[in-house]
Structures are given as structure tokens and as C-alpha cells.
Structure 1
Amino acid sequence: MRVTLLGTGDTTGTPTVGCECDTCETARERDIERTRFSVHVENDRTDESLLVDFSPDFRYQFLRESVPLPDAAIITHIHFDHLDGLGNVFRVFDSLDVHAADETDPQTGQSVAETVASDYDYLDAVTVQPTTPLESTRICGFDVTLVPVDHPPLVCYGLAIEDPQTGAKLSLSGDTSYAIPQASREVLADPDLLLADAIVPAELCDAHPIGGRHTDDDGVARTFGTKHMTREGALALADDLDAEQTRLVHIAHFYPADDAFAEPLALDGETYEL
């Protein structure tokens, strides 16, 4: 299993357009970036690849990394930074199965799969495959399981991707607070590599209108507001899941420049052989 981090940033990416903060300026000076979130997973055994989420930066990411176009894809939720790159399928793919959860979202009255199908009905190449969370599905030779996470007000999913022959396992937290249900944690547990949402360090929770939540015994917030884990929350999740290796993703440019590019925060273009 070869994992390429196509996009490791949050909704605006780093550097952010029009921003002159120290973090964005440092990124420009060092010629590094975090585009909007997307992960490419190759299966050498089957010569197939799987894409997790369609970043708005899809075209640039694939040209930059020279990875093969995916044979199938998964969409974790319907926020634009994880979905709007799907339009790049037009005139590029002859056909593409796109997997998404089949559970109805009370907020929208549709499942993620239904929203994708209705919003992108003009893409003849796309076949949406409604997928039941917490049930393993064979995709590109991998056993893939969507798991519910906590990203209010919309439903959102993390996932585990396992190679049934080698036992290699990649887990992605999805966009989530620290309050991931226990059933989902059990599926995500014991990965060779965990990609965990860590939008800001806990010290910045004071800047959020509602502060931080899910504090540890020392009062350190594991959730920033309601939707995303802090760096400290993501690392606590990694410990909870007994992850062999962890990379922090969905990173905002609000990290202080001294911390923004330090381990284990990921950058675009990183690759891992599991």
C-alpha cells in the first residue's frame, strides 16, 4: 500500500490567498504548501488506486505528484474542500465509482451519497455507490470501512483501509472533534499509519467563540470549537488507537510559524509504504 498525501491543509490551505501572516510567508519562502485535503492510496498487487476526497486542488495535486488517476474514490462529507474537486472528472474519466455513506443526514434530509448524486448528476462518468458505514467494502483490492465521526452540523466519516493480504492498515480520522464514537474507534484502531485532523494547537482555543472542549486531566482542549481536533487531541487519539505512525493533517495557517512545520504535522507530497 502506497499512500500519497495530496492535500494536508484546511479549507483555505497554506499559504492562504491574500494572507501575509508569518506562517504563510514562511511557507512561501520555503516553497512548501498544504493544499485542500485529499489522499491517494495505491495497491501494487492489483495495479489500482483509490482517492479519498476530491480537493478543489485536484488538477494541481495530480500534476504535481504524478500519481495515477484513481480507479475509485470515497467522499467523507459534503463540505466543499472535500467534494468540489469532483467536477474535474469531466472529460478526464470514462467511468469512476464514487463511494459515499448511505445514512440520511438529518440536517440535509439526504445521505452523502444522495447529495453527491444530485449535485453532480451532469457527470455521466460518475457512478455513486451508496456505502453502509461500519460495514467493510472491497474497493481496489482493499477492505474499506467508513466510520461515523463528529463534525456538526453535518454527518461526516473517517475510514479504515486495509490490505487483506499484507495486513497493512491506513486509518483516517476524517474531519472530526475528539468525540469519535467507540464503535468507530474500534474500526480505526491499530493502524500502521493514522492521518488525524489537527486544525490548530490547543493554545488557540481561546480565539474560538466557544473555546475548546473535551479537555484532558490537565485542562488541555482536545477539540477546537465543535468540529475539529486540536493538535493535542489528535495526538491523544493516536495514543488511544495505538497508531504505529501518525501524521497530522487538515492543518490551518493559524499555527504559529515556529510550530506550523514541525513534526508530526504533514506537508503535501509525503509518501508512505505500508
Structure 2
Amino acid sequence: MQVTLLGTGDTTGTPTVGCDCDTCQTAREPPTELRERLRDQGATITAAGGVERTRFSVHLRNERTSESLLVDFSPDFRQQFLREEVSLPDAAIVTHIHFDHLDGLGNCYRLVDDITVFAADETDPQTGKSVAETVTSDYDYLDQISVKARAPLEPFSVCGFEVTLLPVVHPPLVCYGLSVEDPVTGAQFAMTGDTCYDIPAETRAELADADLLLVEALVPADLCEYHPLGGNHHDSDGVPRTFGTKHMTREGALALADELDAERTRLVHAAHFYPAKEAFAEQIAVDGEQYDLS
């Protein structure tokens, strides 16, 4: 299983359009030592020499079947696929209906002949529809897509992988993490999806012991003081592991990673609100990182 991190940023990405904060400036013009370290890690450095954290998406390639599975349709779909030169997906999964995970689906027009999109069948009290139903209704003009609803916590097969949608907590909408396993090699990829720290026990059990784990880590915990709702799910030292109600802090993500004990963990969905000196720490992923799991 080859995993390519197409997009590792939050809703606005880094650098953010129109922003001249220190973090965005560092992303546009990274110091030489940072640029070299990121390249050594396999990360993307743009032609202009900058660092990218575009909106979230992951590409999974099954070398055995020569098929590709896409997790979430980033609005930066075109840029990501041109930049990384990965194959167009044979199938895809949508974790939730926020625009930064879904609105790239329109790129399938004239690019693919047909693609199956899997999404959860669980009705969202907020919308009155499941994720699968929302994708179907919002993209009914795309003849190329076929939406298949799947029940959370029930494995299904796609692209030679065994995939399980895992409920997480991302109010006010339903949202899902993933476990993706190659039944032949035993390689496992897992991701929390967008979530607060309060992930259900059954989901934690499915996420545990992966070869590669992606954990969302929007901001450092000390930024909770600037959120109207503050922080939540504090540890024994009073450090919030949730930023507001719907995203994990870096400290919450690291605590969860320790519990889940993956072979390798990367922090994703990072915002440009990280201070510049912390935003490109080795633990926080940037676009273009690629991992071969076997």
C-alpha cells in the first residue's frame, strides 16, 4: 500500500490567501535548512520554493491490483494531482460534507469515465440526510459518479482493501475516520478524520496499532484561550485536548497517538495559526509525504 498525503491543511490551507502572518510567510519562503529537511522527508516543495498544506486529501495505491483509492475530495484536487503525479482514483471515500473535504468532487467531470464514491448511510440529525445521500443530491449532475452507502463499523471491500468507516465527534455534523487494511500483506492505514478528542471507544479500538496513523491537530492547546468556547477534554495538568468542540489540539492529538500506538503517526489538518517556529516541526505533516506500507 502506497500512501500519498495530497493535502495536510485545514479549511484555508497554509499559506492562507491574503495572509502575511509569520507562518504563512515561512511557508512561502522557508529557510534553507527547513526546505532541505522537508525535502529529505519526501514533502512537497513548490516550484517557487514554498511549503504547501493544501486542503485535506489522501491517495492510497494498491500495487497488487493497480487500483487507487482517494480519501476526500479536496477543493485543491487539480493542483494536488498535477503536483504529485499520482493516478486518478478508481474509487473514493467521503468522510463528511464540509466543503474542504467534498467540493473537489466536481473535478471528476471529464477526468474519469466512472467512479464509485463510498460514504456513510447514517442519517445526520442536523441535515436529515446521510453523507451518502448528501453526496448523491449535491452531485446529481455528475453522470460519472455512483454513490454507495455503507454502514459505519462494518468493513467493506474496495480497490483490494478492506475499509471501515469509524464514527468520530465533529459537531454539528456526523463525521468518520477510517481504517484501511490490505488483507494480503496485513498493512494498515488509519486516520481519525476531523474530530474532537472524545472519540468513541469502538473507533479507538479500530484505529489502534496501524502502520500509519493520521491524527488531526488543528492548533496548539494554548490557542484555546482565543476560542469563544475555550478548550475541552482537559488532561490531568489542565491542558485542553479539544479546541472548542470539534477539533483536536496538537496536545490532544499527541495524547491520542500515544494511546493508539501506531508504527508511525503524522499530524494533519494543521492551521496556519501555529506559530512559525512550531508550524513545521517534524511531527506535523506537509503535502507530498509518501509512505510504503507492507
Task: Name the TM-score, length of structure 1 as normaliser.
Answer: 0.99
2:199 alignment counterpart: 180
How many matched pairs? 274
1:29 alignment counterpart: 29
Determine the C-alpha separation between the residues in 2 that align with 1:146 and 1:64.
28
1:79 alignment counterpart: 98
* Counterpart AA for 1:104: T
* Counterpart AA for 2:2: R
Determine the C-alpha separation between the residues in 2 that align with 1:107 and 1:189.
30
1:191 alignment counterpart: 210
TM-aligned CA deviation for residue 239 of structure 1? 1.1
Determine the C-alpha separation between the residues in 2 that align with 1:100 and 1:152.
18
The DSSP-based 3-state class of the residue aligned with 1:155 is strand
1:268 alignment counterpart: 287
- Residue ranges of structure 2 left out of the alignment (5+ in a row): 31-49
* Counterpart AA for 2:220: P
Determine the C-alpha separation between the residues in 1 that align with 2:264 and 2:251.
15
The DSSP-based 3-state class of the residue aligned with 1:156 is strand
Determine the C-alpha separation between the residues in 1 that align with 2:145 and 2:273.
36
1:225 equivalent among 218, 222, 244:
244
- Residue ranges of structure 1 left out of the alignment (5+ in a row): none
1:245 alignment counterpart: 264
Percent of paired sites with the same residue = 73
Determine the C-alpha separation between the residues in 2 that align with 1:185 and 1:235.
14
TM-aligned CA deviation for residue 189 of structure 1? 1.0
* Counterpart AA for 1:28: R
* Counterpart AA for 2:196: S
1:49 equivalent among 60, 68, 81:
68
2:19 alignment counterpart: 19
The DSSP-based 3-state class of the residue aligned with 1:195 is strand
2:175 equivalent among 134, 139, 156:
156
Determine the C-alpha separation between the residues in 1 that align with 2:230 and 2:265.
25
TM-aligned CA deviation for residue 77 of structure 1? 0.1
TM-aligned CA deviation for residue 241 of structure 1? 1.0
* Counterpart AA for 2:253: A
TM-aligned CA deviation for residue 186 of structure 1? 1.0
The DSSP-based 3-state class of the residue aligned with 1:73 is strand
TM-aligned CA deviation for residue 131 of structure 1? 0.9
Determine the C-alpha separation between the residues in 1 that align with 2:106 and 2:234.
40
The Cα offsets for residues 69-96 of structure 1, whole Å up to 9 and x where unpaired, read as 0110000000000000000001111000
* Counterpart AA for 2:25: E
TM-aligned CA deviation for residue 240 of structure 1? 1.3
2:9 alignment counterpart: 9
Determine the C-alpha separation between the residues in 1 that align with 2:220 and 2:262.
20
* Counterpart AA for 2:249: T
2:46 alignment counterpart: none
* Counterpart AA for 2:208: A
2:291 aligned with 1:256, yes or no?
Answer: no
1:116 alignment counterpart: 135
TM-aligned CA deviation for residue 268 of structure 1? 0.2
TM-aligned CA deviation for residue 190 of structure 1? 0.8
Determine the C-alpha separation between the residues in 1 that align with 2:132 and 2:292.
30
2:208 aligned with 1:201, yes or no?
Answer: no
* Counterpart AA for 1:197: E
Determine the C-alpha separation between the residues in 1 that align with 2:284 and 2:64.
30
The Cα offsets for residues 168-189 of structure 1, whole Å up to 9 and x where unpaired, read as 1111000000000001111111
TM-aligned CA deviation for residue 116 of structure 1? 0.2
Determine the C-alpha separation between the residues in 1 that align with 2:240 and 2:213.
20
* Counterpart AA for 2:55: R
The DSSP-based 3-state class of the residue aligned with 2:259 is helix
What value does the CA root-mean-square deviation take over the aligned residues? 0.5
The Cα offsets for residues 113-133 of structure 1, whole Å up to 9 and x where unpaired, read as 000000000000000010110
The DSSP-based 3-state class of the residue aligned with 2:170 is coil
* Counterpart AA for 1:210: L
TM-aligned CA deviation for residue 101 of structure 1? 0.2
TM-aligned CA deviation for residue 260 of structure 1? 0.2
